[in-house]
Amino acid sequence: MAVYTDISEGDLKHFLQQYDVGELTSYKGIAEGVENSNFLLHTTRDPLILTLYEKRVEKNDLPFFLGLMQHLSARGLSCPLPLPRRDGELLGELSGRPAALISFLEGMWLRKPEARHCREVGKALAQMHLAGEGFSIERPNALSLDGWRTLWAKAADRADEVEGGLQEEISSELDFLGRHWPNDLPAGVIHADLFQDNVFFLGDGLSGLIDFYFACNDLLAYDVSICLNAWCFEKDGAYNVTKGKALLEGYQSVRPLSDEELAALPVLARGSALRFFLTRLYDWLTTPAGALVVKKDPLEYLRKLRFHRQVGSVAEYGVAA
Ligand SMILES: Nc1ncnc2c1ncn2[C@@H]1O[C@H](COP(=O)(O)OP(=O)(O)O)[C@@H](O)[C@H]1O
Ligand SMILES: N[C@@H](CCOP(=O)(O)O)C(=O)O
Task: Domain count for the chain, please give it.
Answer: 2
Residues 274 and 138 in one domain: yes
Instruction: Tell me how far CA of residue 24 lies from CA of 14, 20, 44, 104, in angstroms.
Output: 10, 11, 7, 15
Neighbours of 12 (CB within 10 A): 17
What pLDDT is attached to residue 273?
98
**Ranges under pLDDT 50 in the chain:** 1
What pLDDT is attached to residue 35?
81
Ligand lying closest to the C-alpha of residue 208? 1
What pLDDT is attached to residue 137?
98
Residue of the CA atom closest to atom 27 of ligand 1: 32
- Determine the distance separating the centroid of ligand 1 and the alpha carbon of 34, expressed in angstroms: 9
Residues 252 and 163 in one domain: yes
What pLDDT is attached to residue 5?
87
Residue 110 included in any domain: no
CB of 261 closer than 6 angstroms to any ligand 2 atom? no
- Determine the distance separating the centroid of ligand 2 and the alpha carbon of 13, expressed in angstroms: 30
Q: Which domain holds residue 184?
A: 115-317
Domain CATH for 73: 3.30.200.20
CB of 197 closer than 6 angstroms to any ligand 1 atom? yes
Residues 240 and 153 in one domain: yes
Residues 75 and 126 in one domain: no
Please state whether the predicted TM-score (pTM) of the whole model is above 0.90: yes
Dist CA 169 CA 28 (whole Å):
44
- Determine the distance separating the centroid of ligand 1 and the alpha carbon of 158, expressed in angstroms: 32
Residues 242 and 134 in one domain: yes
Residues 39 and 170 in one domain: no
Which among 61, 79, 103 is the end of a domain?
103
Q: Which of 1, 41, 49 to mutate to test the pocket of ligand 1 (most atoms within 8 A of CB)?
A: 49
Ligand lying closest to the C-alpha of residue 53? 1
What pLDDT is attached to residue 203?
86
CB of 80 closer than 6 angstroms to any ligand 1 atom? yes
Query: Phi-psi region for residue 192, left (φ > 0), alpha (ψ -120 to 50) or beta?
Result: left
Cβ burial of 130 (10 Å; 0-12, 13-18, 19+) is middle
Residue of the CA atom closest to atom 20 of ligand 1: 33
